[in-house]
Amino acid sequence: MHDERRRIEERVARLHNQRIKPAIYAATVPLAVEAWQAPGEPVPFDEAAAAPYEPFAMNTPWGPPWGTTWFRMSGQVPAEWAGKRVETVIDLGFVGDWPGNQAEALVHLVDGTPLKAVNPLNQYVPIANPAAGGEEIHYLVEAASNPDILANDFVGPTPLGDVRTAGDKPLYTFKRADLAVLDENVWHLDLDTEVLYELMLELGEHDPRRHEIMHALDRAMDLLDLDDISGSAADVRAALAPVLSKPAHASAHTVSGVGHAHIDSAWLWPIRETKRKTSRTFSNVTSLADEYEEFVFACSQAQQYEWVRDNYPQVWARIQESVKKGQWAPVGGMWVEADGNLPGGEAVARQFIHGKRFFIEHFGIETKGVWLPDSFGYNAAYPQLAKLAGNEWFLTQKISWNQTNKFPHHTFWWEGIDGTRIFTHFPPVDTYNARFSGEEMSRAVRNYQEKGGATRSLAPFGWGDGGGGPTREVMERARRLKDLEGSAKVEVEHPDAFFAKAREEYPDAPVWFGELYLELHRATYTSQARTKQGNRRSEHKLREAELWATTAALHAPGYSYPYERLDRLWKTVLLHQFHDILPGSSIAWVHREAEAEYARVAQELEEMTAEAVAALGGGGARIFNTSPYDRAEVVRTAEGAPAYVEVPASGSAPVGAAGPAQPVTVDGRVLDNGLVRVEVAEDGTLSSVRDLRADREVLADKGNLLRLHTDLPNYWDAWDIDKHYKNRYTDLLDTESVTVVEADPLIAAIRVERAFGKGSRITQTITVRAGSPRIDIETDIDWHEAEKILKAGFPVDIRAPHSSAEIQFGHVQRPTHTNTSWEAARFEVSGHRWVHIGEPGYGVAVINDSTYGHDVSRTVREDGGTTTTVRLSLVRAPRVPDPGADQGRHRFTYSLLPGASIGDAVAEGYALNLPLRVADAAGAPVPVVSVDGEGVTVEAVKLADDESGDVVVRLYESRGGRATGTLRTGFPLAGAQVTDLLERPLAQADTDGNGGVTVELRPFQILTLRLERAATGR
């Protein structure tokens, strides 16, 4: 037989695209359209309904950036369309096929009932099937003219990312608003042809099935009457039926399709637009569920459900009904799909607590799995936190974006730092926006790493990022691929069903230990530094407010614990931990609003803490310590004078403790407190840091060396830092001044001022305090660079085979060598409050109060010694998607801690991030709880969420070893239980018979205790 593949393939492609697709709508009549441009921000439906409308013609430009235009549409179904399937078709002037980053609209009936959204791949609104003829159509359509932020493909910055800079030039040209007859035979022929054609192209050229499909398509096209596509469509479909009905091979891979619509809670649009996106997508999803009884849609992010509940009650009611029918699956159990690296441990716990409770309360459903397809890496505490929240499985997708190494598993057990394992799946289709194309199905099978051990994978299908969700065309593809020779089989089902089957067939799946590090998007540890600082400060202020509110509730008559306020503020912080807000990868508008929200949260939490402390009564200045560790340090009083204080963990003490025996001395540019001696060079770097206790020099070269690197990644500006950034840099060694600015026996400081680059300035105050080896570097930057990153380096005379970085409820160790491509790919990593390097007998920590990104490297010197260098990433200057990212003022502190153990790093990390509070108080309330036992660290103290008055304490082992201790309470204890994260009992806690709770922890174990208070007669 002659090889006619090219002729047939080109023939089918042309007929499909140029003749069949255009004939899907058999007849159309235009609707009458009027328009009203809403001023400013979106308005409620009732206001839009009462607005004055003006006639609007097709092919008219409309929609300024971020504007809202309401269209009033009306028409009548022609009588001759009786018995046909009639729809409204609306094209707002869509560009491309991505629903989420351009014009979108929600269609309402005139009584305000939301019907369905329209977007590039979902332009129809059903009217009748079959139509009676004569039906009148009246709509109000809320159209959002959101700009296409990435239209220039990252070539350069755009002003469109903020309503303040976007201008008012119309972005779109309205193309179509018609009543139309859907020719179902032609529509199904389009899908039949497309599915077979795509499958054919993926089969091997020697595969008989490929040739069978090819010749069947060729013969079928012979039956297509080019002058009567509609009339011949049924005959063409009948000719294709035999090849569409051949069943899949018995050993064919099974793809569990789960409807999905990833909606970023903010990204290339502000939060206010996401609220509308949820209504559009969820309207479409519930409408699709009415058409396809087998449809199952998985949806995470309790925050988005709450937005719909509060703003679109009719859509909310439809969601509740779909949940009851089993077609809507709440998943994930988190408040939002948070970033996987940056939120603190307690914040991740609260993501689960608030998310799971929402689904239990509103749907009676406890979600079983963690659904995080798009976060930029996943911390190694997740398995334990997920299990403690009652989850059984974990799903991610983003690891498919790895720049260097292909992740070796798709179904595996993920083991966290404490040893907890959770069953995990990473879909081989390599997308969370699947549409069941031939290429996707082939890729899923080809890519699947578990061949021979397992036979199934999951595919989230539906348009996402900006929403959109599944379409009826995707559902039709799933039906055709349910059992089709040459293809994987598609089974649409609940993700819980997939995970149950996958675990049953593959119980001995391989194990991956530690973090799931994404070899891409490493700059998200640094971009938008003020957003990150706002998060860090909020997390610690929430801890402080809860501790002292609990103290006041126990000791101050008449004080009421602020349950509602804390709940509301936690949810605000959790929302902003979304994986495109906290990482710094959103448009300017998002980060501008985030910074304002963090300021508001900080102010309210300050007020709450002050109220709680004031409730304890006035009587003189006292120092309050929110840290879980005892503190002995220098603090500034309300008058600004330094004072040395000793304060118990989670307790308070009066000002006036005797100072340490050795004061701080200043000799030129040398600061000495008897523990460390710090020499500041003329160029402002640290020329020497000598640990006087160990009698050794800490530094191997200039310390606190500020290095300005060129930073232009290959593609994702705000997201990525590529390895070549290291090759071009300038060391900031020119100074304007190096000045002693404080020389008190308790505290001494040297200030270094520099100007550099394009008008940037940096002022650093290097401070040494009596009684502490910690060297603080308070930093004030006025930043005006572009496409640069600023790092601060500490080259330490230590041979460290690995570094340790704090993560949620523990720390991870990472090699400092680059033996393999896996280690080399970790050239930029994340950590929380500290990074530690050490050799047997000696260690050094670098502490911070708001940075996350860092790198650790080592070199061998000519003298044979090893230099291990820790460099903090301080600030960046990407230009896409926010051209003004990080510009302006930044204030933060980082510290060098010589002679530090891991335990010292943990304690000082808390100390730097939880400054001592000076307040007027009458007495010394007993700390709510106190704990003995090295490594047992209290992370949270609060009252139980059920308002029972029980005290909830969350603690963990922080050093990486086994720990035992006793927890004692500052109130009469009636009983103690071990609970899950949702404060539900798991077991009775062990007590020592003297009112204490015995604590035994494995390395990095998290333990939540619920403490019942005994009646006191109050």
Cβ atoms of 773 and 897 closer than 8 Å? yes
629 pLDDT above the threshold of 70:
yes
Of 150-154, 390-394, 521-525, the range with the lowest mean pLDDT is 150-154
CA distance linking residue 109 with residue 127, whole number of Å = 12
CA distance linking residue 333 with residue 325, whole number of Å = 20
| Better-predicted residue by pLDDT, 639 or 483 | 483
Residues contacting 79, CB < 8 A, separation 6+: 133, 134
pLDDT tens per residue, range 710-748: 999 999 999 999 999 999 999 999 999 999 999 999 999
Residue 671: φ, ψ to 5°: -110, 135
What pLDDT was estimated at residue 89?
98
Average pLDDT over residues 77-90: 97
Strands (E), 849-991: 853-860, 866-876, 888-898, 917-920, 929-932, 936-943, 951-957, 963-969, 973-979, 985-988
Positive or negative, the Cα torsion across 315, 317, 318, 320? Answer: positive
Average pLDDT over residues 608-632: 93
Residues contacting 841, CB < 8 A, separation 6+: none
What pLDDT was estimated at residue 1016?
67
What pLDDT was estimated at residue 880?
96
Q: Which of 1014, 970, 1018 is nearest to 996 (CA)?
A: 970
Residues contacting 857, CB < 8 A, separation 6+: 816, 868, 869, 871
Q: Which residue has the tokens 């004031």?
A: 614
Q: What does each C-alpha distance from 625 to 548, 601, 619 come to in angstroms?
A: 10, 21, 18
What pLDDT was estimated at residue 660?
86
CA distance linking residue 735 with residue 823, whole number of Å = 37
Determine how β-strand 696-697 pairs with β-strand 705-710: unpaired
Q: Around Cβ 826, how many Cβ atoms within 10 Å? A: 18
738: its two tokens? 């190096």
Residue type at 931 in one-letter notation: V
What pLDDT was estimated at residue 855?
98
Average pLDDT over residues 936-965: 98
193-197: Cβ within 8 A, 24+ apart: 193/12, 193/16, 193/20, 193/217, 193/220, 193/240, 194/16, 194/477, 195/244, 195/438, 195/477, 195/480, 195/481, 195/484, 196/240, 196/243, 196/244, 197/9, 197/12, 197/13, 197/16, 197/438
Chain-centroid distance of CA 918 in Å reads: 35
Cβ atoms of 488 and 438 closer than 8 Å? no
Give the whole-number percent of the chain exceeding pLDDT 90. 95
Confidence band (pLDDT; 50, 70, 90) for 992?
confident
Residues contacting 537, CB < 8 A, separation 6+: 598, 602, 850
What pLDDT was estimated at residue 383?
98
What pLDDT was estimated at residue 82?
97
Q: Which of 498, 492, 516 is nearest to 409 (CA)?
A: 516
Q: Which of 172, 75, 184 is nearest to 133 (CA)?
A: 75
Determine how β-strand 951-957 pairs with β-strand 936-943: antiparallel
pLDDT tens per residue, range 7-51: 999 999 999 999 999 999 999 999 999 999 999 999 999 999 999
Residue type at 736 in one-letter notation: E
Active site residue 190: no
Cβ atoms of 907 and 183 closer than 8 Å? no
Give the whole-number percent of the chain exceeding pLDDT 70. 99
Average pLDDT, the chain: 96
Element (H, E) at 15: helix 5-15
Determine how β-strand 686-691 pairs with β-strand 676-680: antiparallel
Whether the upstream peptide bond of residue 881 has omega within 30° of 0, thus cis, is yes
Positive or negative, the Cα torsion across 559, 563, 565, 566? Answer: positive
1018 pLDDT above the threshold of 60:
no
What does the DSSP assignment read for 703-765? BSEEEEEE---SS-TTT---GGGGGSEEE----SEEEEEEE-SSEEEEEEEEEETTTEEEEEE
What pLDDT was estimated at residue 1017?
47
Average pLDDT over residues 592-613: 97
| Better-predicted residue by pLDDT, 1015 or 1011 | 1011
3-class SS shares of the chain: helix, strand, coil, % to 5 = 25, 30, 40
Q: Which residue has the tokens 């400081």?
A: 749
Residue 731: φ, ψ to 5°: -80, 130
Q: Is 498 helix (H, G, I), strand (E, B) or coil?
A: helix
pLDDT tens per residue, range 753-771: 999 999 999 999 999 999 9
CA distance linking residue 652 with residue 646, whole number of Å = 9
| Better-predicted residue by pLDDT, 258 or 921 | 258
pLDDT tens per residue, range 395-417: 999 999 999 999 999 999 999 99
User: CA-CA-CA-CA torsion for 515, 518, 523, 527, nearest 10 degrees?
Assistant: -70
Of these residues, 178, 339, 374, 849, which one is catalytic? 374
